[in-house]
């Protein structure tokens, strides 16, 4: 059997997430951590909820928020999309720690993470 064919058959769609090589009569396998991290970052859904009847331009231009001077709508969403909630295999949900920028944005918009 051709080693690459064996690895591709066993790993299937996860082939791009491992490095491997033949050692003696077996395989030495390692996880490609960067590839896995990139995939995990693209998983899930992005949901942002807010109270009141504002569109994004109104939220950013509110005089008391001051966000319009620092962020575009796209920049704001890009910053907030880094917030993550992960459901573990036992059902527990763990939230990522907000950065200083994220805390500032959420606070100025009157939102919570």
For 7, 8, 84, 92, the CA distances from 15, given in Å and listed in that order, are 7, 6, 26, 29
Most confident option among 40-44, 73-77, 91-95: 91-95
Overall pTM > 0.75: no
Determine which of 19-28, 47-56, 90-99 has the lowest per-residue pLDDT on average: 47-56
Q: Distance between CA atoms of 65 and 93, rounded to whole angstroms?
A: 30
Higher pLDDT, 70 or 6: 6
**Sheet strands (E) in the chain:** 18-23, 26-31, 85-87, 93-95
Summarize pLDDT for 55-75 with one digit per residue, the tens: 766 665 667 677 777 887 778
The model's confidence at residue 41, banded by pLDDT at 50, 70 and 90, is confident
Q: Distance between CA atoms of 81 and 74, rounded to whole angstroms?
A: 10
**Are the CB atoms for 109 and 67 separated by under 8 Å?**
yes
Query: In the chain, what's the furthest Cα-to-Cα distance?
Result: 69
Q: Distance between CA atoms of 84 and 43, rounded to whole angstroms?
A: 10
Q: Give the residue extent of every domain in the chain.
A: 1-43, 44-113
């Amino acid at each position: 059997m051709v080693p690459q064919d064996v690895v591709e058959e066993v790993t299937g769609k996860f082939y791009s997430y491992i490095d491997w090589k033949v050692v003696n009569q077996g395989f030495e396998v390692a996880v490609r951590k960067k590839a896995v991290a990139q995939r995990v970052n693209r998983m899930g859904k992005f949901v942002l909820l807010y109270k009141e009847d504002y569109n994004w331009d109104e939220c950013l231009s509110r005089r008391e928020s001051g966000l319009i001077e620092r962020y575009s709508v796209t920049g704001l969403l890009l910053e907030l999309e880094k917030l993550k909630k992960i459901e573990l295999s036992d059902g527990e949900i763990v939230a990522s720690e907000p950065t200083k920028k994220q805390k500032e944005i959420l606070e100025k918009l009157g939102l919570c993470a």
